[in-house]
Structure 1
């Protein structure tokens, strides 16, 4: 049975971690777009990776370990990823094109240093292959587990998905109108629920990581069409 001290520690960990994502997004996109904002955003991204590791090792006294994927995890990830890919492309085709201003999107991309197709491809390769894994490690392995300590079961899944959605709201708002913000935020929240459930089902990040990467690939393809077509 969990003690009150465990819940307090979980709350402290979430308090120190969750706001960092929104701080980085707001700074880079609104407060100081450019090199200074990008630097702070990068530091926040480092914090989102380093803090869970440090907390788990130094505070929780856990041993981190790596496990090879099982076939059912790979299959689940591929199925969910394909489903999300289709949903993202479908939603964009039906609604997204009318809520995103390509001129404003190109200006915002320029402010963030995306000045050529080659730079875009490098950045998107990082987001698809690396950042999706970091996000799964942070938001599912660490945040979802801490939420389970505070409120076990389905409420923890919803709470961790809400935390995961918060910083995405600022990102979506930078490129879309209010309709896109609502639709995109709901989509991110739903994806967070699916990925949290995948993690809790398999106690592994492989299924959520693979589906997350495929979903990010769909977003990268759409972004390419907006910026360079």
Structure 2
């Protein structure tokens, strides 16, 4: 359990932010304006998470579960663009994942 928590709080935010907000967002910025690039990247980030959430919940809970994911994707995209760095989005993502783990450990479980 400790290794899973470590991976979810440390490794996952780094890997996801480097991919989505560094690689994909930069790639989209070359083809779209700033707002469209952030929206498109957040949409595909949400779709990626929706596919993993789909088997966990039934409709409409699985759809509702990805709404905050989309909002976070938009926020992290703007944070990345505003600061010019992915450090803020990595830290924010790690804190969000920590919150999700705490809800699971102390409320759901």
Distance 2:102 2:63 in 1: 21
Q: Distance in 1 between matches of 2:74 and 2:9?
A: 19
Worse overlay, 192-201 or 181-190: 181-190
Quote the residue 1:157 is aligned against. Answer: 38
Residue 62 of structure 2 is matched in structure 1 by 181
Q: Which runs of 5+ in 1 are unaligned?
A: 1-119
- Once the two structures are superposed, the pairs formed by residues 1-229 of structure 1 within 5 Å of their partners are 120-225=1-106, 226=108, 229=109
SS in 1 for 2:30: helix
Q: Report the structure number with the largest CA radius of gyration.
A: 1
Cα separation, 1, equivalents of 2:50 and 2:81: 25
1:153 and 1:171 map into 2 onto residues whose CA distance is: 28
Question: Post-superposition, which runs of at least 4 consecutive aligned residues in structure 1 deviate over 2 A?
Answer: 222-226
Q: Deviations over 1:34-73 (max 9, x none)?
A: xxxxxxxxxxxxxxxxxxxxxxxxxxxxxxxxxxxxxxxx
Q: 2: distance between equivalents of 1:187 and 1:159?
A: 16
- Measure how far apart 1:206 and its partner are: 1.1
1:221 and 1:173 map into 2 onto residues whose CA distance is 21
* TM superposition score normalised by structure 1: 0.45
Q: CA deviation at 1:166?
A: 1.2
How many residue pairs align between the two structures? 108
Secondary structure of the structure 2 residue equivalent to 1:167: helix
Please provide the CA RMSD for this pair: 1.2
Alpha-carbon shift at residue 224 of structure 1 (Å): 2.4
**What's the CA shift for 1:223?**
2.5
Structure 2: runs of 5+ lacking an equivalent: none
Deviation at 1:151?
A: 0.7
